[in-house]
């Protein structure tokens, strides 16, 4: 079951969409921690300076940042949560596996993908660019929905620590409202 909730902007939190994905038999997803899309976090007309996104994530202890794209095949991480900050162009991502939810995200948007949630690029603009990072001390593995990955991946997902900070809002943010601590 896919569930979407919306939060509206106020003085401290950006507008967000929240998606919950249940285990579909192939991809474990993460029933206790929904995927969060922060809309229009970084302002600008078109591309955003990538350093702005990197500094925001680093200031909130989401580290190990990289610049690249989003893989065009379903995958998930069982050892880390992941944040993606789009700084140029747009992407259509299929989230939660083949029967999941397609979300279009553009420059200025941020996605927080909990450990276990499948994600895949299904379309993008020619200029699409993204920065990824992980909560301090977490390092991602790669899983592809193969039968032999489970139940070890399930055990790993259960052991992934909650982040100490929301990657966008710091000590207080939508992540802590949405994720069960």
Q: How far apart are CA 157 and CA 161, in angstroms?
A: 9
pLDDT (tens digit, 0 to 9) for every residue of the chain, 181 residues total? 333 333 333 334 578 999 999 999 999 999 899 999 999 998 766 678 999 999 999 999 999 999 999 999 999 999 999 999 999 999 999 999 999 999 999 999 999 999 999 999 999 999 999 999 999 989 999 999 999 999 999 999 999 999 999 999 999 889 998 996 5
Find the helix or strand (DSSP H, E) in which 177 lies. helix 174-178
DSSP state of 122: E
Give CA–CA dist 151/36, Å, rounded. Answer: 25
Distance from C-alpha of 70 to C-alpha of 56, rounded to nearest angstrom: 20
pLDDT at 43 (0 to 100): 76
State how far the alpha carbon of 142 is from the alpha carbons of 41, 42, 51, in Å. Answer: 28, 28, 26
Spatial contact of 75 and 142, defined as CB atoms under 8 Å apart: yes
d(CA 83, CA 16): 14
Residue 47 has a pLDDT of 73
**Cα–Cα distance, 2 to 21 (Å, whole number):** 5
Predicted pLDDT at 7: 35
Domain that holds residue 76: 2-178
For the chain, what is the domain count?
A: 1
User: Which CATH number fits the domain that encloses residue 73?
Assistant: 2.60.120.10
The Cα 138–Cα 160 span in angstroms is: 8
Q: Which pLDDT does position 10 carry in this prediction?
A: 35
């Amino acid at each position: 079951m896919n569930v979407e909730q919306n939060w509206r902007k106020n003085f401290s939190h950006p507008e967000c969409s929240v998606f919950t994905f249940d285990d579909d038999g192939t991809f474990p997803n993460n029933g206790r921690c929904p995927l969060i899309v922060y809309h229009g976090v970084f302002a600008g007309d078109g591309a955003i300076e990538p350093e702005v996104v990197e500094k925001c994530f680093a200031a909130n202890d989401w580290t190990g940042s990289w610049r690249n794209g989003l893989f065009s095949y379903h995958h998930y991480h069982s050892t880390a949560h992941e944040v993606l900050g789009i700084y140029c162009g747009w992407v259509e991502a299929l989230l939660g596996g083949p029967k999941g939810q397609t979300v279009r995200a553009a420059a200025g948007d941020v996605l927080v993908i909990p450990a276990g949630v499948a994600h895949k690029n299904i379309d993008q603009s020619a200029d699409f660019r993204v920065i990824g990072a992980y909560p301090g001390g977490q390092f991602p593995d790669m899983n592809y929905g193969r039968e032999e990955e489970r139940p070890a991946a399930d055990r790993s997902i259960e052991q992934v620590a909650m982040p100490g900070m929301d990657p966008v809002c710091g000590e207080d943010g939508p992540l802590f409202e949405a994720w069960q601590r």
